[in-house]
Structure 1
């Protein structure tokens, strides 16, 4: 394959310099905005805007800027204007009082899923997809006892797996993620997977790798053309290879090539499943493929086609739709005998609308992305919260014992807690709320697109501005919460011990686009954590030395890995 050196190929060198000059001019000639837009916390760089300031972490930097720039400030991400809102009343003013102008999502460059599903769609498409999804989830008993029984069954398997550790120190994050993902799997496909199932393990490992890729800042993700610059510019080739590994776990080399070639040609999410007509040819070529593995690896790094379509799956989103395709195919292969699950109900509703000749946005493309979005929203957030809860209990053993004492008095030890116990376990639920507040696992809500000029706190937010609600600033606001960085469940209880929910407690955001899975998440958190504390005493890996960890930067921020010893309470009380 031909290669070029930037400094020995004049044509390519001139092209790169010319393109850089055009981008520089474009960045300097920004759209004219009103003079009273929110202030900038720092001077933006040419072309990059404020991105270089956030190279070491967006979350911490935005918090620093809040202290210097105030409750509302502007940023340039590239040449795009963003407005960050950091105060509870202002967030509600933006997302509730000005909902008509601020309920849209901005387009996500280089991500096909931004026009499908529920999270990123707008207008009539979003309304129908959200209404249908919520209706289906409610039919499964979201937030009710019918779904709670499924969650409890999964919790039972989770506790058995923890008991099998025999009190040895263990990082429980993968097991917790596996278990929580089974709740979503049971909803979307009507089945759960064994924790040692190769598919589940590979799927979640791939998911984690791609989420890590999404956490790291790289200008290559903002300007994909940078991948065409020869050499390992800005680490783009390394990111390329890491993504190839993930694709091959499910598709193999040939499947990966079909995956990427099909997408480059059609810009549609492909299906990695081999066509029946290709099976024989694939089998015949297996030996040749194996012989050429090493050569393929070298060639792939410099393949311009791979470099072109890399942005479409680098963040791990498009790739997972291929797995969702497999789920859809399995569930709908016999429409007269489909299992009761989200896919089946969506499929029936879609066909019913078509049979009646009604105009509808329900289709397989939207279903595919809804499945991924449900998996992402329902797995990563809940499992991260559970791990943060474990961490805080290790740091505060006296609080852990107080929770256990309340559980013993209200529920006892003869049965597992159920949702009907929730209203009687105020202190326990206060510890969960305090975990959600202090961990603040979703630091910034998904962005909103302003579709008309609005005024917030006297500042004009122009149309086409991206608005970023900073939930971190609200959940950790020292003007609202006394000693906000300390774990104090009592802040959610009044003088009589009754549970209270302050207006500044918004872990699921606010407004029309707030999380649709709040009821499911709360049911999962209650049933998982209450059963966990009822059955086990959580102890650090080294007695008297609780872990001290920070968060992992990303769209969702779990804690760094740490080990726990799960000591069965019956055993510890007997000893």
Structure 2
């Protein structure tokens, strides 16, 4: 004591008291979710397979359980693996997990604007406006159903004009699906030979091609964005491809602004421009947010539905017995003299089950769209700091073997009761769940049902190869699964 001196001892005591008081007043964070030990800077890169991240996550979950932490480079990510933990997070604690997790590549492309990639008040206002406006323009109502039926008629006639010659139906389907969102966002459908429309489709297909082919580069960009910005490679072409789509949409918005009449809004774009003019001081409604929101609607409204339909036809080529049952059910309920409508769905339980099984089986977005926690959060006794990136995986839910026996097998019985009626499942969440559930879910489900039933009402599918050689396993990309290229002949019924 004499060596230190009383003033020093008193000072140490005071500091200790202050530290104890501060410690007691600070919430105890608790332990964070466990996970494999990361390498400094590198993170867990070498423990993840960029060509099949889901398999990597499956192995990690076996060791650490349904909630674990990984590091993408220096970025910490909490992964939620399984129905119970995803439900607990996104539904039971929906507000805390309602943030959008932004990966570097997403930030590069979308700049935190639009519905999908925004956060906070911007996201709330844009999503509320989009849902209200889309309803005003017919989404979920008879009006949009009639638009889809009309487009389905155009698609059927276009297919009929192929005269049973084999072809890849992807382009036809993409054109038809894109026209639905065009009619909502831009006010009118395009003729299938319209040059501007074809230019847009080419840009979308180009963007999809790059996403499909550069899984490793996408992962590396998200791990090390600063370095990858200086390196050449296909990721640069993907960014340029997206910029072309952005420029195309921006030009359409500019023309809408020039011809805008506030007394007669023609479409979603006009409604947004009207909102911008009414609330000039509102920073959430700008030309940039309009452009990004339009891109969100276009990409989400085209990609998911067209991929599901393309994949669904491939699966039916592999399983003619399933197609035959659908034909019989459609003939019995709808007949050949009128177009299928949404009111028919409850009377077509087998067809409805097949559509649900297609969506479950293809597992379109296995990783889901990343989330983030909006505040410091506790989940199953684990502490998750505010803004932590969250991967609430969909694949383990859609592939759950207890809910769906033999999940790797395509089986419409997964959605049928013993008496043949349709069976609902809480595990069916291809559009995610909670506050960030896809805003276009209703539109997508309506399109998939009406397009598929219209095609099968009019045609029988004929493969160009032996059915045993048809491969319906997914073509895995970084973020989404898709069907392998194929051709089919449509035989009029």
By the TM > 0.5 criterion, same fold?
Answer: yes
C-alpha distance in structure 1 between counterparts of 2:118 and 2:467, whole Å? 50
C-alpha distance in structure 1 between counterparts of 2:451 and 2:472, whole Å? 22
> TM-score, normalised on structure 2?
0.87
Q: How do residues 315-354 of structure 1 correspond to structure 2 at under 5 angstroms?
A: 316-336=241-261, 340-354=266-280
Q: Are 1:74 and 2:69 matched, yes or no?
A: yes
Cα distance change of structure 1 residues 239 and 83 upon mapping to structure 2, 3 Å threshold:
closer
- In the alignment, what sits opposite 2:141? 144
Q: Are 1:506 and 2:432 matched, yes or no?
A: no
Partner of residue 203 from structure 1, selected from 200, 203, 224? 200
C-alpha distance in structure 2 between counterparts of 1:197 and 1:50, whole Å? 48
Displacement of 1:217 in angstroms is 2.2
Q: How do residues 42-53 of structure 1 correspond to structure 2 at under 5 angstroms?
A: 42-52=36-46, 53=48
- In the alignment, what sits opposite 2:160? 163
Question: What secondary structure, in the 3-state scheme, does the structure 2 residue paired with 1:59 have?
Answer: helix
Partner of residue 305 from structure 2, selected from 382, 398, 421? 382
CA offset digits 1:120-172 (Å, max 9, x no partner): 11121111111110011101221221111111111111111211222122111
Displacement of 1:114 in angstroms is 3.6
C-alpha distance in structure 1 between counterparts of 2:170 and 2:378, whole Å? 44
C-alpha distance in structure 2 between counterparts of 1:536 and 1:554, whole Å? 34
Alpha-carbon contact 1:183-1:192 (below 8 Å) kept = yes
Alpha-carbon contact 1:211-1:554 (below 8 Å) kept = no
Q: How do residues 15-94 of structure 1 correspond to structure 2 at under 5 angstroms?
A: 36-40=31-35, 42-52=36-46, 53-94=48-89
Displacement of 1:508 in angstroms is 1.1
Q: How do residues 111-122 of structure 1 correspond to structure 2 at under 5 angstroms?
A: 111=108, 113-122=110-119
Q: How do residues 261-410 of structure 1 correspond to structure 2 at under 5 angstroms?
A: 313=239, 316-336=241-261, 340-354=266-280, 359=282, 361-410=284-333
- In the alignment, what sits opposite 2:15? none
Which one is further off, 335-344 or 428-437? 335-344
Q: How do residues 199-238 of structure 1 correspond to structure 2 at under 5 angstroms?
A: 199-215=196-212, 216-218=215-217, 219-220=220-221, 222-226=223-227, 236-237=232-233
Alpha-carbon contact 2:89-2:97 (below 8 Å) kept = yes
> TM-score, normalised on structure 1?
0.75
Alpha-carbon contact 1:449-1:465 (below 8 Å) kept = yes
Alpha-carbon contact 1:445-1:509 (below 8 Å) kept = yes
In structure 2, the gaps of 5 or more residues are: 1-27
CA offset digits 1:239-259 (Å, max 9, x no partner): 44x45xxxxxxxxxxxxxxxx
CA offset digits 1:199-225 (Å, max 9, x no partner): 333322222332343452222454344
Which one is further off, 386-395 or 51-60? 51-60
Alpha-carbon contact 1:111-1:318 (below 8 Å) kept = no
Cα distance change of structure 1 residues 475 and 532 upon mapping to structure 2, 3 Å threshold:
same
CA offset digits 1:507-556 (Å, max 9, x no partner): 11111111010110011011100001111111211354451143231433
Displacement of 1:339 in angstroms is 6.2
CA offset digits 1:23-43 (Å, max 9, x no partner): xxxxxxxxxx96732232x44
Q: How do residues 485-524 of structure 1 correspond to structure 2 at under 5 angstroms?
A: 485-524=408-447
- In the alignment, what sits opposite 2:480? 556
Displacement of 1:70 in angstroms is 2.9
Q: Are 1:477 and 2:404 matched, yes or no?
A: no
C-alpha distance in structure 1 between counterparts of 2:402 and 2:464, whole Å? 36
Displacement of 1:424 in angstroms is 1.1
Question: What secondary structure, in the 3-state scheme, does the structure 1 residue paired with 2:33 have?
Answer: coil
Question: What secondary structure, in the 3-state scheme, does the structure 1 residue paired with 2:390 have?
Answer: strand
- In the alignment, what sits opposite 2:387? 464
Question: What secondary structure, in the 3-state scheme, does the structure 2 residue paired with 1:478 have?
Answer: coil
Question: What secondary structure, in the 3-state scheme, does the structure 2 residue paired with 1:63 have?
Answer: helix
Displacement of 1:177 in angstroms is 1.1
Which one is further off, 112-121 or 442-451? 112-121
C-alpha distance in structure 2 between counterparts of 1:486 and 1:112, whole Å? 36
User: Number of residues paired by the alignment?
Assistant: 457
CA offset digits 1:309-332 (Å, max 9, x no partner): xxxx35x44442211111112223
Cα distance change of structure 1 residues 183 and 468 upon mapping to structure 2, 3 Å threshold:
same
Alpha-carbon contact 1:145-1:419 (below 8 Å) kept = no
- In the alignment, what sits opposite 2:7? none
Displacement of 1:442 in angstroms is 1.0
Displacement of 1:68 in angstroms is 4.3
In structure 1, the gaps of 5 or more residues are: 1-32, 244-312, 570-575
Displacement of 1:80 in angstroms is 1.3
Q: Are 1:452 and 2:378 matched, yes or no?
A: no
C-alpha distance in structure 1 between counterparts of 2:68 and 2:91, whole Å? 19
Alpha-carbon contact 1:549-1:562 (below 8 Å) kept = no
CA RMSD of aligned residues (A): 2.3
Question: What secondary structure, in the 3-state scheme, does the structure 2 residue paired with 1:412 have?
Answer: coil
Displacement of 1:360 in angstroms is 5.9
Partner of residue 565 from structure 1, selected from 472, 489, 493? 489
Alpha-carbon contact 2:349-2:420 (below 8 Å) kept = yes
